[in-house]
Structure 1
Amino acid sequence: MSVPATVIAAGGVVWRERRGTRQVLLVHRPRYDDWSLPKGKLYPHEHVLLCARREIEEETGLRVVFGPPLGVQRYEVRKNGGTAPKLVHYWSAQPVDGTAFEPNDEVDGITWFPVDEAREKLSYPRDLDILDRLDRVLPVVATVVVLRHAQAVKRKDWDGKDTLRPLSSSGMDVAQRLASVLEALGVDRLISSDAERCVATVTPYGALIDRHIHLWPEISERGYEADPDGIRGLAERVWKPGRVTVICSHRPVLPALTRELGLKVGKFATGALLVAHRLADGRIVQERFHSP
């Protein structure tokens, strides 16, 4: 007997501050007559962050940017006459734009509640666990997104200078999709190696938000090989209070770069990213994402 496939979903705790009081947004679903956190299922091949953003917008009318992760729910749901495991990812989310909410068959009402009232209103204990984690990851002082460039043309297929080696066609597609992921994270500052494959990876997002890309030769392969100590002291320049900074570099450079930034070192596939949030108490909350 085959095991049912896990249902993957994503959502967020959407919050705001009003007159010194933190409020969170809950949705009412008429089908279940419950109050819950906005969430929904992934489309095939959809990036989990983009799913969370799409579902929140569909259910509330609000576009959000994501902060630190708030954990994962695991429970059973009915599926095809039986049950299947469900996995729901949640993030802290703040509204940045939106339209007037329109009730529909799935969600017929949304309401902002002070956190204490939201705890009383939520219908499921599992949602309380996620809500209670919000306090543990706020406030965020600064955010850094460490990114390996998307797939480039292979070295053996390129006759020019390595620093000019461009992205492959699939790499260009990834760069376009990355723009939506970086937008969901609220990135507002762009740093890149001066190599073409790195610059091209963040160019679509730079064009989307009309921001200049700061080129740092010291985080290129060539620059790092010439002077491995050149990355020392970069952390202070990267971690900017109140900013969400993406820094795009290369596989040979990333271990030393992540150490310099005070982050856990790990392997990066092309187009993969590490998102790190520095909290007011000095802790760093980080998570990894595969290439979109």
Structure 2
Amino acid sequence: MSNTPTVIAAGGVVWRERRDTRQVLLVHRPRYDDWSLPKGKLTPHEHVLLGARREIEEETGQRVVFGPPLGVQRYQVRKNGGTAEKLVHYWSAVPVDDGEFEPNDEVDEISWLPVDKARNKLSYPRDVDILDALEHVVPVVATIVIVRHAEAVKRKDWDGKDTLRPLTSNGKAVAERLTGVLAALGVDRVISSDAERCVATVAPYAASINRHITLWPEISERGYEADPGGLRGLSERAWKPGKVTVVCSHRPVLAALSRELGVKVGKFSTGSFLVVHRLADGRLVHDRFHAP
């Protein structure tokens, strides 16, 4: 058995609607003379969503935002004279601008094709399986990103009001890195507990898109302890059609908040998040991530 580490890669099915026809974007790799979905290996310590976005842009010129997950591929590749398992994560991906493709040694041609033609052109059956998964997760009506605040100064080390307890230096770094991840998800609405540690977690992203942070005291630890019933009715306010909303709260509140939003979740480590997509048929599709 090989002890070679697993190769982690990520990519997406990039799609658009043209004249009532769904088109997807394929790439041609001259090294293998094949047609495939855009993807690539992550760099060390790179968050999988950021790696997927970077690779798609490098291969196609398209800047994208991600929707629901489409599945994972596992297969063997040659590495260092032996073999290793390759693990590739895929998401639905929609272009946010008309990027310009520049042929290179890795990808020398791209092609927008209707789904049926793309299915026939793809070189690998595993890519066809990922492409077929797209039909089952679009369209998306609304998306919520549920975040536990980044690491904060410990209670025993803080003399002020608990609501003013700040992030640690590591927590601040996670908040900064979260900016790129939320951008990759296309977040355009920011909601937070009124506690400083939650506000500071999403503030860098809100500033990057010039958005106001809407404060919900009822999802703070203090607010929830005072009135657990205050969460009732928040689901209707959170699920806003056509929007991708980030909601930042606290570990003791997240289980109840998630139930109110219609999602069952487990434990959240600091800075981790859950992405939940509401589909047109009412189904919820979710994707869980560690802190960036």
Q: Calculate the TM-score normalised by the size of structure 1.
A: 0.99
Tell me, in whole angstroms, the C-alpha distance in 1 between the residues paired with 2:96 and 2:208: 16
Tell me, in whole angstroms, the C-alpha distance in 1 between the residues paired with 2:204 and 2:258: 24
Tell me, in whole angstroms, the C-alpha distance in 1 between the residues paired with 2:18 and 2:61: 19
Stretches of 4+ moved more than 6 A in 1? none
CA deviation map 1:180-209 (0-9, x unaligned): 000000000000000000000000000110
Give the match's secondary structure for 2:136: helix
AA of the residue aligned to 1:151: E
Aligned to 1:194: 194
CA deviation map 1:11-61 (0-9, x unaligned): 000000000000000000000111000000011100000000000000001
Gaps of 5+ in 1: none
Aligned to 1:244: 244
2:9 and 2:39 in contact (8 A); partners too: yes
AA of the residue aligned to 1:177: R
Aligned to 1:210: 210
Aligned to 1:269: 269
Give the match's secondary structure for 2:176: helix
Residue 98 of structure 1, CA deviation: 4.5
Give the match's secondary structure for 1:136: coil
Aligned to 1:55: 55
Gaps of 5+ in 2: none
Residue 151 of structure 1, CA deviation: 0.2
AA of the residue aligned to 2:42: L
AA of the residue aligned to 1:265: V
Aligned to 2:24: 24
Aligned to 2:44: 44
Aligned to 1:104: 104
Tell me, in whole angstroms, the C-alpha distance in 2 between the residues paired with 1:189 and 1:99: 25
Aligned to 1:115: 115
Tell me, in whole angstroms, the C-alpha distance in 2 between the residues paired with 1:286 and 1:99: 29
Give the match's secondary structure for 1:54: helix
CA RMSD of aligned residues (A): 0.8
AA of the residue aligned to 1:34: D
CA deviation map 1:235-291 (0-9, x unaligned): 000001110000000000000000000001210000000000000111100010000
Aligned to 2:221: 221
Residue 126 of structure 1, CA deviation: 0.3
CA deviation map 1:67-99 (0-9, x unaligned): 000000000000111111010000000000253
Tell me, in whole angstroms, the C-alpha distance in 2 between the residues paired with 1:19 and 1:98: 17
Tell me, in whole angstroms, the C-alpha distance in 2 between the residues paired with 1:290 and 1:124: 30
CA deviation map 1:206-231 (0-9, x unaligned): 01100000000000000000000000
Give the match's secondary structure for 2:12: strand
Aligned to 2:170: 170
Tell me, in whole angstroms, the C-alpha distance in 2 between the residues paired with 1:266 and 1:219: 17
Aligned to 1:259: 259
Residue 100 of structure 1, CA deviation: 1.5
Tell me, in whole angstroms, the C-alpha distance in 1 between the residues paired with 2:84 and 2:112: 32
Give the match's secondary structure for 2:77: strand
Residue 2 of structure 1, CA deviation: 5.3
Aligned to 1:159: 159
Residue 4 of structure 1, CA deviation: 1.2
2:26 and 2:38 in contact (8 A); partners too: yes
CA deviation map 1:121-146 (0-9, x unaligned): 10000000000000000110100000
Q: Sequence identity of aligned pairs in percent? A: 80
2:2 and 2:83 in contact (8 A); partners too: no
Q: Please say if 1:72 is aligned against 2:72.
A: yes
Of the structure 1 ranges 92-101 and 203-212, higher mean CA displacement relative to structure 2 is found in 92-101
Tell me, in whole angstroms, the C-alpha distance in 1 between the residues paired with 2:218 and 2:203: 19
Q: Please say if 1:289 is aligned against 2:289.
A: yes
